[in-house]
Each structure stands twice: as C-alpha cells, then as structure tokens.
C-alpha cells in the first residue's frame, strides 16, 4: 500500500505538471495573439516556477536506492575541541531538525549526551517521512565550522569539527541476525531534558555490537524495556546500513564509500568569519546566506550531492558495460 500510494502520488504530480505546462503555453499563445504583454509575462513566470517544480520532481526520481524511501536515524558527534565542538554539534542537530520540520517530516529525539558547559557531545534523532533516508544520506561525513568563538574571552577565531552519520530505519520484515553473545548491554541514567522518573532511574540503554564495534543508545522512554527494544531496532538498522555500504563498495571499487563518510573526511565548510560562506567540498555548491543554511536550508546541497552520486553510479555502470563488451 505504501508503494502504491507513492506511485499514485507521483502520477498525480506528473499530470498536474503536464496540465500547468499546457495552460501556460496556451496563455502565451493567447497573449501574443492579442498583444497582451501582462498575460505573456504572467505565463512566463508560471513556466519558470513550473521548471523548478519539475526539477524537484526529477530529483525525487533519483531516490531509487534500496532504502531511500525509509525513515532514518541521524547521529551527530562533536569532534575534539571541547565546548566549541560540542556547541557546533548542537547547531548541526538544530539544523537537521529545522530541515526535517520544514519538509513535514516527524522528528523524535532518541538520545542525547549534553556537553559539560554547553552544546552536545552526541545526539541521535529519528526522522520519519517518505524518502527521509534518501535525502539525508548525503549528509554523512565531517562538517567544519570557522567562527569567532563565543566562548573565547579574547574573541579569537576557532575551527571546530563534528561528524554526522545517517542510516535507514529498516522494516520488521528485513531479517538481520543478531546474536546475544555478540552484544554488550549497559544501563545508565538518562541525561538532558526529561521528567523526574526519567532522570533518576537507570532506564537508558547502550548496546555495543562487539564484532562490528557499532554502538547505539536510547533514552527516549522511561521504560528500560522499551528503550532496549528501540536500541535493538537502531542496531539492526546500523548493521543493515553497513551491509548496504559494503555492497556499494563492491560495486564501486574505485570510490571507497567509507572514505566519504569517515571521520577524517570533510564534506562541507561553514565559515562565519572573516566572511560568510557555506561550501560543499564534493559538489562545489556554495552560498553566502549562512543563516539560511543553519536554519535548515539544505535542499540545494542535498540535491547536488544526490545528483552527483547518481551520475557517478551511471558512469560506473557504463564503464562496466564497456569493459564487458
């Protein structure tokens, strides 16, 4: 039913675009025939807007990966640098929450570890909505901030790093085998905002998958059992995402996907001083409207990264086909 609804919605959008195009062309013909410049200009403006809508829908068709349509988890971790990096991690988490809300996605805080003075050491949110993972998967990597530190009494310029990791939530019918002997399960007291009971009992759960080293944590509920169940879902999702990455690496031997999302590989710079600029180092997309980006204006960056990834996949496939011939 989910797939049927998606196809039906896509067809409805296509027919709507087709009708708008036909109406705009008719208006232009009519305006030119009657010498009505205002009608022509109005129709041309409609065509310009239609072109943007069509481009957005074209990008939606690129989201055809195995897990692109799934909900997803977004993890943010502060890099070295103490309070400065932890504040940057909180800014990034706010940015992704704003982006998600602006696209009518549901956002749920799964876990957070506050910094000593300010910001976050780490946090995880769940983003629920169609193609949530498809869009957010391009955000995995290291994000760099350059600014005058509000925590430096000498007002010096600081460079901070934080890493972002996105992975899809998997459906219950996807079988991921997890052996109990491979798990280390720790309980601890929840941190951050919450009711009295949440913060005074060991209800938070941290699960370490020993063979892979993957660690997940959940403190969203006052029930330890429910937190454990959610943490297991997150672990299965991480293991599934790791398998997807292994498949991608096998298909693209020359482009190591792990390098792209590794801690040491920077994907985007956010410069707030001495000038205003956000620049994606993969696609060269940039803007001087830094505040808009930090408020969740990420669509241009995501679209360019997604288009680049799909173009790379097609080029690799073409090369493989040529080699086969």
Question: CA-CA distance, 44 to 178, in Å (whole number)?
Answer: 58
Q: Which tokens sit at 218?
A: 């959940």
* Of 139, 37, 24, 145, nearest in space to 84 by CA: 145
Q: Which tokens sit at 90?
A: 């909180």
Q: What is the pLDDT of residue 80?
A: 80
| Cα-based angle 104, 105, 110 (whole degrees, multiple of 5) | 145
Question: CA-CA distance, 218 to 138, in Å (whole number)?
Answer: 24
The residue behind tokens 């498809």 is: 134
Report whether CATH 3.30.70.1660 matches the domain 72-314: yes
Q: What is the DSSP letter of 80?
A: S
Q: What is the pLDDT of residue 174?
A: 62
The residue behind tokens 């204006």 is: 297
Asked if 70 contacts 133 with a C-beta cutoff of 8 angstroms, the reply is: yes
Q: What is the pLDDT of residue 21?
A: 93
Q: What is the pLDDT of residue 254?
A: 39
| Cα-based angle 124, 126, 131 (whole degrees, multiple of 5) | 130
Q: In the chain, where are the structural domains located? A: 2-62, 72-314
Compute mean pLDDT per 10 residues along the chain, 325 residues long, and list them: 78 91 91 88 90 81 80 92 92 97 95 91 94 92 92 86 90 73 88 53 88 90 89 88 74 43 72 95 96 96 88 60 50
Q: What is the pLDDT of residue 66?
A: 75
């Amino acid at each position: 039913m989910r797939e049927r609804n998606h196809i039906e919605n896509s067809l409805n959008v296509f027919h709507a675009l087709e009708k708008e195009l036909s109406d705009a062309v008719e208006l232009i013909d009519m305006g030119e025939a009657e010498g009505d410049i205002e009608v022509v200009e109005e129709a041309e403006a409609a065509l310009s807007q239609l072109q943007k809508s069509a481009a957005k829908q074209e990008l939606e068709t690129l989201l055809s990966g195995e897990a692109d349509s799934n909900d997803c988890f977004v993890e943010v971790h502060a890099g070295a640098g103490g309070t400065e990096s932890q504040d940057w991690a909180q800014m990034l988490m706010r940015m992704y929450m704003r982006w998600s809300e602006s696209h009518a996605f549901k956002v749920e805080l799964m876990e957070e570890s506050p910094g000593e003075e300010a910001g976050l050491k780490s946090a995880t949110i769940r983003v629920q909505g169609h193609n949530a993972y498809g869009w957010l998967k391009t955000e995995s990597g290291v994000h760099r901030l350059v600014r005058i530190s509000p925590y430096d009494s000498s007002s010096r310029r600081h460079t901070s790093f934080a890493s972002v990791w996105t992975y899809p939530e998997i459906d219950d019918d996807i079988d991921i085998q997890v052996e109990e002997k491979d798990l280390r399960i720790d309980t601890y007291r929840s941190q951050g905002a919450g009711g009295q009971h949440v913060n005074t009992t060991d209800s938070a759960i941290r699960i370490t998958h020993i063979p892979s080293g993957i660690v997940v944590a959940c403190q969203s509920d006052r029930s330890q059992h429910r937190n454990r169940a959610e943490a297991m879902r997150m672990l299965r999702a991480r293991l599934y995402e790791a398998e997807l990455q292994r498949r991608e690496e096998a298909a693209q031997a020359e482009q190591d996907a792990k390098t792209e999302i590794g801690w040491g590989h920077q994907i985007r710079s956010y410069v707030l001083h001495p000038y205003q600029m956000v620049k994606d180092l993969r696609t060269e997309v940039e803007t001087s409207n830094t505040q808009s980006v930090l408020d969740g204006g990420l669509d241009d960056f995501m679209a360019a990264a997604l288009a680049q990834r799909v173009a790379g996949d097609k080029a690799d496939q073409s090369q493989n086909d040529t080699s086969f011939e």
